[in-house]
Amino acid sequence: MTSLLPSLTVLAALVKIGLLVGGLMTAAAYLVLLERWIAAWVQDRRGPNRVGIPLTKIRLFGLGQPLADGLKIILKEDFTPSHVDKVLYTAAPLLILATSLAIFAAIPFGSVLPPLNIPGLPDPVPFLVAPGLDVGVLWVFALSSIAVYGVLLGGWASNNKYGFLGGLRSSAQLVAYEIPLGLGLLGVVLAAGSLKLDVIMNAQAQSGIWYAFSQPLGFLVFVVASFAEAARLPFDLPEAEQELVGGYHTEYSGIRLLLFLVSEFLHMITAAFLIVIMFLGGWHLWGVTGSGQEVTWLGALVRFAVLNTKILGVIVFFMLVRWSWPRFRFDQLMNLAWKVMLPLGIANLVVVATVEEFRPQLLAVLGPWAQAAAIAAPWAVFFIGWIGAGLLTPSRTDNRPILTRGSLEGDQGLLERDSYRPQQRPASPELMETR
């Protein structure tokens, strides 16, 4: 009889899944409102402030807006155009939503609960759906790569040029930025010695030094790459509503569009979670949360609050950035990924690996100053890498067609452009025709 009942561990996991999915969906709905508020405030407007409790006159600063938005989009006609590939068209939003939700199985959303002393349930209970998963980070990255398929399939199955362009851009962009993302992450994994996100958080809490401070270059690379992975401005080329209508979800409407939009917000939440957990200390805050594994109920609550406040802060930063920058051009996007972020990520990895390798020797030689040296070295590399990347950047960009600036001269031509006059070097007409 008892063997038929699910074990307490499974029950605890189910409760956590319920809380997490409910919380995430609510968060996504309210982040839409936050996004609209911030958009309005940045543009000196007031933003949605009318909708409150339905059927009453109570306005609550517009906090009822997500309900109205959600109802509106759910009740809209779910139209399937005749020219789409029906199977893939239906599968794409489901795939993207399922993967972006499944990512959270390995992401801790707090520290641990105090001992409950329930027989059959191992104490302490962590705020994590799959606490035994040793490859947490790999799980997160594998699933966020699968989420790309949703975008690709959506663009491809729509059978629409804007959708297709959006999907193409998305694939190239996400492939390019996976690499700096992974490099930024590797430094953290190397320093913490684990692929489990809760262990990475605990390592920062114990030393008191968040990885953003000890690996500034990795932090920079990771943040930039996660903007690109979440397809937020200034890297929102897959959607680019001004040029691609809606990008990969041009042909979607109704609840299927809602699935795409929700999973976009989930990607942003994932990115914020990863930034906070891996670089900003997770639930740790000096002098407030403590750093050990033993917590009281209040301590667990405080840690939960600290983690989520940090995540909210990162999300607000994401939203502010949206209104601060114009979108990158596609070649600029690729230049940034391959010529700037990739070398910087490797530089960070090398310096972190060196510091970690020679930490015992540092301790022996420098004694109490070893910790300072272990932080100073990455900062030195940060400034060298940053200023070096800046100085190596060409001081102007040239987006004239290749033919007019003299073909096939490559970068040499780009650098010597100051002496260039279009009238003196007209391209040959034969070349024009063969192109």
Partner 1 sequence: MKPTDPAITWLEEKPLGLAERLYLPLFLQGLTTTARHMVSPKVTVNFPEQRPTLGNPLIYRGVHRLNRDEDGRVKCVACFLCATACPAHCIDIVATESPWPDREKYPESFAIDELRCIFCGMCEEACPVDAIELTSLLDLTGKSREEMIFDKEKLLSVYDMTKDSEPMKSASPEHSVAESVGGSL
For partner 1, the binding residues (CB under 8 A) are: 38, 41-46, 49, 320-321, 323-325, 386-387, 390-391, 393, 395-398, 400-401, 403-404, 422-423, 426-427, 432
Q: How far is the CB of 13 from partner 1 (least distance, A)?
A: 40
Nearest partner of 105 among 204, 14, 219, 169, judged by Cα: 14
Q: How far is the CB of 399 from partner 1 (least distance, A)?
A: 9
Residues in Cβ contact with 96 at an 8 Å cutoff, skipping those fewer than 6 apart: 147, 149, 150, 151, 154, 259, 260, 263
Residues in Cβ contact with 116 at an 8 Å cutoff, skipping those fewer than 6 apart: 123, 124, 125
Nearer to partner 1, 309 or 393 (CB): 393
Nearest partner of 404 among 376, 435, 363, judged by Cα: 435
8 A C-beta contact, residue 97 and residue 263: yes
Q: How far is the CB of 396 from partner 1 (least distance, A)?
A: 5
Rounded alpha-carbon distances, angstroms, from residue 82 to 153, 251, 353: 17, 11, 55
Partners of 222 in beta bridges: none
Nearer to partner 1, 190 or 403 (CB): 403
Q: How far is the CB of 45 from partner 1 (least distance, A)?
A: 5
Nearer to partner 1, 277 or 280 (CB): 280
Rounded alpha-carbon distances, angstroms, from residue 247 to 80, 165, 170, 430: 17, 7, 9, 37
Q: How far is the CB of 242 from partner 1 (least distance, A)?
A: 19
How many Å apart are CA 258 and CA 6, to the nearest integer?
34
Nearer to partner 1, 49 or 354 (CB): 49
Rounded alpha-carbon distances, angstroms, from residue 147 to 221, 266, 404: 21, 11, 41
Q: How far is the CB of 350 from partner 1 (least distance, A)?
A: 22
Partners of 126 in beta bridges: 112
Nearer to partner 1, 309 or 332 (CB): 332
Q: How far is the CB of 311 from partner 1 (least distance, A)?
A: 19
8 A C-beta contact, residue 135 and residue 160: no
Q: What are the start-end ranges of the H helices in 193-296? A: 197-207, 211-214, 216-229, 241-244, 254-279
Nearer to partner 1, 115 or 401 (CB): 401
Return phi, psi of residue 126, to 5°: -85, 155
Nearer to partner 1, 149 or 386 (CB): 386
How many Å apart are CA 219 and CA 187, to the nearest integer?
9
Q: How far is the CB of 378 from partner 1 (least distance, A)?
A: 17
Nearer to partner 1, 147 or 272 (CB): 272
